[in-house]
Amino acid sequence: MKALNNLKAKSYIVSTLFGLATTGKHFVQNLLGIGDRPTIQYPEERRAYSNRFMGVHVLTRKADGDIACTACMLCATNCPADCIHIVAAESPKPTVEKYPAVYEIDMMRCVFCGYCEDACPVDAVRMGRDYEYAELSERNFVVGIEYLADRPQLKGKNISVFREPKKLVTQKLRKAS
């Protein structure tokens, strides 16, 4: 029995020394800047995300400046988190049947799956590249048309790099067949 306790004590000491050696190795690597840095200096450095990344939503606009959404409710119906709320209204323009009088997304409930983008027949809702969304109050996480459509930081930039607009995809399919 005494030999078994002695063996346990030796294995404990050996395991502790292996752990300390690993810690010491990482300490020296980080001190000398040899190893990969697992952290970034966040406000100054930004992490590079892939083209498939889905961030905060964006409502696109037509060439005349109106919102492209036709209030068909497909995005709200297709949303698994039930975070999209749309109220449709008749459009004053004779060429447009209806438009969204209210288009709200509850960012606290959204799972950023992209199903709303896939369901939209007119490519009105896109998943943007922004991921920084911090607020002090919970009610500020429900965003409306004003925030989703008027995003000056996106002017001239590609909103969603990975996904092509549906018009381009259908044109490519027609050319292929």
Q: Tens digit of pLDDT for each residue in 14-36?
A: 889 999 999 999 888 888 877 77
Q: Which two tokens stand for residue 7?
A: 């063996």
Given a cut of 50, the residues of the chain with pLDDT beneath it are 156-158, 160-163
Please report the pLDDT score of residue 156 as a whole number.
47
Residue that is written with structure tokens 């209030």 in the block: 71
Q: Which two tokens stand for residue 115?
A: 């199903």
CA distances from 19 to 12, 13, 136 (A): 11, 10, 42
Residue 51 confidence (pLDDT): 80
Q: What is the largest CA-CA distance in the chain?
A: 95
Q: Which secondary-structure segment (H or E) carries 105?
A: strand 98-106
**Residues pairing with 102 in the sheet:** 87
CA gap 91, 101 in Å, rounded: 9
Helix ranges (DSSP H) in 33-128: 74-78, 115-119
Q: Residue 101: its pLDDT value, please? A: 95
Strand partners, 59: 125
Tokens 């039930």, residue located: 82
Residue 162's pLDDT is 41
- Going from the C-alpha of 94 to that of each of 43, 86, 91, 97, 99, the distances in angstroms are 48, 21, 7, 7, 12
| Residue 57 bridge partners (DSSP) | 127
| pLDDT number for residue 30 | 81
pLDDT at 166: 52
pLDDT recorded at residue 125: 92
By CB neighbour count within 10 A (0-12 exposed, 13-18 middle, 19+ buried), where does 58 fall? Answer: buried
pTM over 0.75: no
